Structure 1
Amino acid sequence: MKKLFTLIISLWVCSLAAWAQESIPQVIPALQNWKGYSGRLVLPGEGRIVIEPSAEAQLGEVAATLADDLKEMFGRMYRVTTGKPSRQDIYLYLAKPDKALGEEGYELDIRSYVSLGASAPKGVFWGTRTLLQMLYNQPEGLQKGKAADFPAYAHRGFMLDTGRKFFSMDFLKSYVKILSFYKMNEFQIHLNDNGFVEFFNNDWNQTYAAFRLESDCFPGLTAKDGSYTKAEFKEFQKLANRYGIEIIPEIDVPAHSLAFTHYNPRLAAEKKEYGMDHLDLYKPEVYAFLDTLFAEYIGGDDPVFTGSYVHIGTDEYNIKEVEQFRYFTDYYLKYIRSFGKIPRLWGSLKQMKGTTQVDIKGCYVNAWNYGWLDLETALKEGYKVINTCDAYLYIVPGVNYYHDYLDTRWLYNEWTPEQMNNGFEVEKGNPDLLGAMFAVWNDRVGNGISQQDVHARCFPALQVLSEKMWGGENRNRMPYEAFEKLCHNMPEAPGVNLLAKVKGKTALIPSEEVLVFSGTDTVNTVLDEIGYPYAVEFEICPDAEPVTDAVLFKGPHSVVLTNWNGTGKFAFRREGYEFVFHNYRLPAAQWTKIRIEGDGKGTSLFVNGKLEERLEGRVGEVYNAKWKRKDRIWYMETLVFPLRQIGDSMMGFKGKMKNVVCIPQEKAVQ
């Protein structure tokens, strides 16, 4: 009897916990406070977004963005107007300042209509992100109730290394929307960097380096394999503003500066043992160059860097030059301030101890490494601090010394922005610890990583860290397994599907219908592409005289070829890389059943049900002359499969195809 009673109590507790979890709207990040009412509000397919008349100027853009997103996500047509709300409207208003909610907090009240207000437009905007998530997760109707929601930390960021790997402007704009959908509010763009010399024959002149922004002052400085014009970078910042995101542009000096010394070798440090990626801190020519470069982007009445912050790098310079490094850092902190901008920098001054004064008043620092600058030291010295701890928050794809994927379970269960590595944690509540930022570094230049591979690593981290930095109550209510399931079911952002999720098995042409291609024919499908993990099957019969390098499938990010180099082999191309299945040659003038499977680690080719080749695990080895050792590079041979178009009008397949089917798999491989 006692065992039965214990079992009943256990079941009652579990059901109560489940009820409590379900009674709170499931959104990421979780709501700080929620009071539920009975019933649901069903919003119509066509409706109104009503702005409080006195707030029309401030909230017009917020309302327009919400209307666009409702159409994009749900096909709902909402018009924006001003006045008083009626039943089933969405009402936006500005309220008096509320110390508890702050500038980013908001109140969301759902009764006979949706009422959403805050003391500032950004708060109202974050409330619209919550509303969109609730609509997505509650298709049967919105739970009635009232939320008071606000962030625990003011700075919630992500940094992307575009110096070592180029990311398209379309990708950056998509990331603004993704960050925004999860209430992250800073996006740091690392605009210059270089590869490691050992992977380029230990020759600095051959080593990859790039500066990604158009420059009129220094023609030829901008990377040829991918860059941003000044106009599009300004437009990018304008879009980010609309979505509540602050863009932090970073020009990293005086180390990581090989792009500048390639442009002008006289800028390189005289001491060759420092490496050609070190600027010479003693040469007036270096200061003249950097003064001009920074001024090109932050000077004038209409600067290219439109936001409040400019990041100057200042990490990992040779420790033999402590005093001159400190002088250089102080010089550029003052220089950035002279243009009315707030300087940011990587923390190095714990490692670079010296007597030369550095005025860090009002500076924002990324405390990124316990040895170079830890949280406690940064806070004691008076910085505004962003925790960017490398041990927990660095993603470096395809290496063995940082995370390839962040440990999201540990982050969700254990981490807080007060923690750094070595078990170190500062006291909560310090007003100068502003938040945290996770980062992606593309150290291994040329390793085959794609933009979507990077996104596959970032997105789970972004969801967890948004939860932890906003500070919703789900952290104490929802176990990680339930949170992970919620994350998996959530969209990336309105109109964004970089993961290329496909809902179910999809036939791209009617069963047994035979398509005939002459080499210039194309067939458009209902899907753009399919992401990891997946299988794509088709039956193919090439012409007796097949086209060389024939485009078989084409999508927004990649192409699949047949008869590569006239050999009958399958291949695929993406982002300047080419990958070939060398173990199999497709016979001409006969039907063959092909299946290609892809996941986050590689790509497999099956022929008539048999695995012919798996592209995964290729490793390169080089000699590191500085450290007298061998270093390795792990290559990524992955493919988000292109489906938008079969064939090509200029370099298309010649032959027949049938039974083209794509099949999403159940669980991604990491």
Structure 2
Amino acid sequence: DGYVYIVPAAGYYYDYLNTEYLYNSWTPATIGSQKFEENDPAIEGGMFAVWNDHAGNGISVKDIHHRIFPALQTLAVKCWSGKNTSLPFADYNTRRLSLSEAPGVNEQGRLGKPGTVVLSRDEVKSGETLNAEEIGYNYSVSFKINGEEEAKGTELFRSANAVFYLSDPRNGLLGFERDGYLNTFNYRVEKGKEVTLTIAGNNKSVSLFVDGKLREELGPKTLYVIRDRNLANYQVEGAYATSPKVYDPSDKIYYQRTLVFPLRHAGNFRSRITSLEVKQAE
């Protein structure tokens, strides 16, 4: 199972399968450390698996799909052709990108070729509907904002899968919500101030640029699982009772803060949004 197991952002097995190795060296006749004869009639095919061991680590459905799709393409080739592939890996890896996921399906949110502007607006009106649901990795979304005071929970954009907030519901910060997770930047829209904001996202992080300068990057973050049994109580009973409580956690997760950026519906904001440019990045 070592070659074909994905456990997203776990730190063991694969985060993404090594598709180059699989394409060049693996066939369904390879099962763990055992190598069977090619075309052995006892072998009906091969498969890979995704195990989401770490509940709460921020991995989204989109992130899982991003890991599955190249693995699916590669194992499909190898289960069909075995060791007799006809293209060098570099050629295959380029050509596979031209294949759609399925008719009418775009879970990866690809809107155009890398390096192209795929959507633009001189001004985005409150409540407007745009002609794209979302944009996936890699992307940049840039716009000018002339700030007004925004109530907590004010949305910039919403899709079927995510929300990007001008003022998040908890603290009134710029941020986003998807798959039951809320992530925020340490940035607040200021009334009467005009700036250009750019949000750049990939499969590892989301970054905020203010007037072209990086303000903050939300990337993987190590979090620790705290249980009652992890209480590190080295003090004797009595006058030196544990205060504050300190813990020696044994488990950790690598929390992921990614975003396939929502575009379909503009929120009911008061600020003025102009010069929107959505770009499929390299």
Same fold (TM over 0.5): yes
Cα offset, 1:631, TM superposition: 2.5
Structure 1: which 5+ runs fail to align? 1-389
Question: 1:653 Cα deviation (Å)?
Answer: 1.4
Contact 1:507 1:659 in 2 (8 A): no
Contact 1:567–1:585 (CA under 8 A) maintained in structure 2: no
Structure 1 equivalent of residue 175 of structure 2: 571
Please give the per-residue CA displacement for 1:121-142, whole angstroms capped at 9, x wherever unaligned.
Answer: xxxxxxxxxxxxxxxxxxxxxx
Q: Find the counterpart in structure 2 of residue 408 from structure 1.
A: 19
Residue matched to 2:192: 589
Between the aligned partners of 1:473 and 1:418, the Cα distance in structure 2 is 10
- Verify: 1:610 aligned to 2:208, yes or no: no
Matched, 1:561 2:165: yes
- The answer as to whether partners of 1:398 and 1:634 remain within 8 angstroms in 2 is yes
Q: Is the 8 A contact 2:28 2:82 kept in 1?
A: no
| Structure 2 residue 65 is the aligned partner of structure 1 residue 433 | no
Matched, 1:533 2:138: yes
Measure, in 2, the Cα distance between the counterparts of 1:414 and 1:507: 41
Q: In 1, Cα distance between the equivalents of 2:212 and 2:40?
A: 61
Matched, 1:645 2:250: no
Secondary structure, counterpart of 1:391 in structure 2: coil
Q: 1:622 Cα deviation (Å)?
A: 3.2
**What code does the residue aligned with 1:419 have?**
T
2:101 is aligned with 1:492: yes
* RMSD of aligned Cα (Å): 2.1
Partner of 1:452: 62
* Correspondences of 1:95-494 after superposition (within 5 Å): 390-422=1-33, 424-471=34-81, 475=85, 477-494=86-103
Where 2:157 maps in the other structure, the secondary structure is strand
Q: CA deviation at 1:605?
A: 0.6
Indicate the residue corresponding to 2:117 in structure 1.
505
- Evaluate the alpha carbon distance shift between residue 620 and residue 495 of structure 1 in structure 2; reply closer, same or farther with a 3 A threshold: same
Specify the SS of the correspondent of 2:177. strand
Structure 1 residue 655, shift from structure 2 partner = 2.0
Match of 2:239 in 1: none
- The two structures have a TM-score, normalised by structure 1, of 0.37
Conserved 8 A contact 2:146-2:195? yes
Cα offsets for 1:449-507 (capped at 9, x unmatched): 111100100100000000001127970x3100000001112211111111100113034
Q: 1:156-195 CA deviation, whole Å, 9 max, x = no partner?
A: xxxxxxxxxxxxxxxxxxxxxxxxxxxxxxxxxxxxxxxx
Counterpart of 2:277 in structure 1 is: 661
More helix by share: 1
State the 1:590 CA deviation.
2.2
Q: TM-score, normalised by structure 2?
A: 0.86
Structure 2 Cα separation of the partners of residues 429 and 564 of structure 1: 57
Preserved CA contact (<8 Å) 1:542 1:588: yes
Contact 1:508 1:526 in 2 (8 A): no
Q: CA deviation at 1:547?
A: 2.1
Corresponding residue for residue 550 of structure 1: 154
Instruction: Supply the distance in 2 between the matched residues of 1:622 and 1:528 (Cα, whole angstroms).
Output: 35
For residues 374-408 of structure 1, give each alpha carbon's deviation from its aligned partner in whole angstroms, at most 9, with x where no partner exists. xxxxxxxxxxxxxxxx2011111011111000000
| In structure 2, distance between residues paired with 1:526 and 1:429 | 49
Task: Give distance in 2, aligned partners of 1:486 and 1:618.
Answer: 34
- 1:141 matched residue in structure 2: none
Deviation at 1:592, TM superposition (A): 1.5
Letter in 2 for 1:486: R
Residue type of the partner of 1:528?
E
Q: 1-side partners of 2:222 and 2:29: how far apart?
A: 38
Instruction: Report the Cα distance in structure 2 between the residues aligned to 1:412 and 1:515, rounded to whole angstroms.
Output: 45
| Change in 2 beyond 3 A, CA 1:440/1:506 | same
What is the SS of the residue equivalent to 2:66?
helix
Contact 1:447-1:633 at 8 Å conserved across structures = yes
Task: Describe the shift of the 1:400–1:515 C-alpha distance in structure 2 as closer, same or farther (beyond 3 A).
Answer: closer
Residue by residue over 1:308-360, the C-alpha shift from the partner in whole angstroms, topping out at 9 and shown as x without a partner, is xxxxxxxxxxxxxxxxxxxxxxxxxxxxxxxxxxxxxxxxxxxxxxxxxxxxx
Name the amino acid aligned to 1:550. Answer: T
2:183 maps to amino acid: F
What is the one-letter code of the residue matched to 1:392? Answer: Y
**CA displacement 1:618-650 (0-9 Å, x = unmatched):** 111236879x98222001100000011112xxx
Cα pair distance change 1:541/1:484, threshold 3 Å: same
CA distance in 2, matches of 1:546, 1:457: 37
Amino acid at match of 1:662: V
Asked whether the equivalents of residues 502 and 530 of structure 1 are also in contact (C-alpha less than 8 Å), the reply is yes
Residue type of the alignment partner of 1:605:
L
* Cα 1:421/1:473, change in 2 over 3 Å: closer
Secondary structure, counterpart of 1:488 in structure 2:
helix
Q: What is the CA–CA distance in structure 2 between the aligned matches of 1:643 and 1:437, rounded to whole Å?
A: 35
Determine which structure has more spread, i.e. the larger CA radius of gyration: 1
Cα 1:568–1:542 shift into 2, 3 Å? farther
CA deviation after TM superposition for structure 1 residue 434, in Å: 1.2
How many percent identity over aligned positions?
38
Task: Say if 2:124 and 2:276, in contact at 8 Å, map to a contact too.
Answer: no
Q: Report the CA distance between 1:566 and its aligned residue.
A: 7.1
Output the CA distance in 2 between the equivalents of 1:568 and 1:604: 18
Partner Cα distance (1:474, 1:664) in 2: 35
Question: Aligned residue for 1:203?
Answer: none
Number of paired residues?
Answer: 261
In structure 2, C-alpha distance between the alignment counterparts of 1:630 and 1:471, rounded to whole Å: 45
Kindly state the Cα deviation for residue 431 of structure 1 after the two structures are TM-superposed.
2.1
2:252 to 622, 626, 632: 632
In the alignment, is the contact (CA less than 8 A) between 1:547 and 1:566 conserved in 2?
no
